[in-house]
Amino acid sequence: MFSMKSAAIAAVLLWILMLYYLTIQLFGLQEKGYGSEETAMQLNEALQLLKELRKQNAALQQTIDSQKRDHIDDVQLEAYKKRRRNQRVNDEDAENTAHNKELNEATGRRNDLYSVEHEVSRRLVESRIWEMFYYLRVHYSDSSKKGLDKKHVEEQMLSLLATASNMSEVDDAASWRQKSLQSLTESIQRKIYEMQAS
């Protein structure tokens, strides 16, 4: 676009300079009092130059108009592509929403079955069990009591840890967490795609 403007400005300046030059030549000839034959020749040359400049102006105007049309076509094509991408993303959103709704209806559960508090509590229980396990392990390693008590406590703690780990499998929280993380990931990826497409 810059070269088009520059070419147009250069053509207009050239045309003004030629007009100025011709005007000076015509007035200069009249003041000097040249003969009519010489004046007629210079006038013919000036008219020829003027015709040539008009042809050049017309050619430049056609070039500018064609480049404007090409630019408008490119802008319209890009806008069409952007609308198609947005439509495709909206269609995918609608499909995902319908798919999630079908999954929820099939399992008979709502999306908000488990709360953040539930997950925090589950993790807190698990971390406390681990703390207790390491505490008792250290306590029994320092103690002179060895044998059945130590072994029994370790087995009970490991059993409790396994039960806490499997708790998410029993109440289906693991699949809920996985679906929740998957929907969050898809949402973030969609937003990134939209930002890149813009």
Query: What string of DSSP letters covers 38-91?
Result: HHHHHHHHHHHHHHHHHHHHHHHHHHHHHHHHHHHHHHHHHHHHHHHHHHHHHH
Look at residue 82 in the predicted model and tell me its pLDDT.
77
CA distances from residue 87 to 93, 180, 197 in whole angstroms, order as listed: 10, 25, 12
Q: How many CB atoms lie within 10 A of CB 168?
A: 19
Look at residue 73 in the predicted model and tell me its pLDDT.
80
pTM (predicted TM-score): 0.30
What parts of the chain have a pLDDT lower than 70? 1-2, 28-35, 93, 96-116, 142-148, 167-172
Average pLDDT, the chain: 76
Look at residue 120 in the predicted model and tell me its pLDDT.
76
Look at residue 27 in the predicted model and tell me its pLDDT.
76
**Rounded (10°) angle between helices 36-107 and 2-32:** 170
Q: How many CB atoms lie within 10 A of CB 176?
A: 19
Look at residue 40 in the predicted model and tell me its pLDDT.
81
pLDDT in tens, 143-185: 665 666 777 777 877 888 777 777 666 666 777 778 878 888 9
Look at residue 48 in the predicted model and tell me its pLDDT.
92
Tokens in use for 137?
């392990």
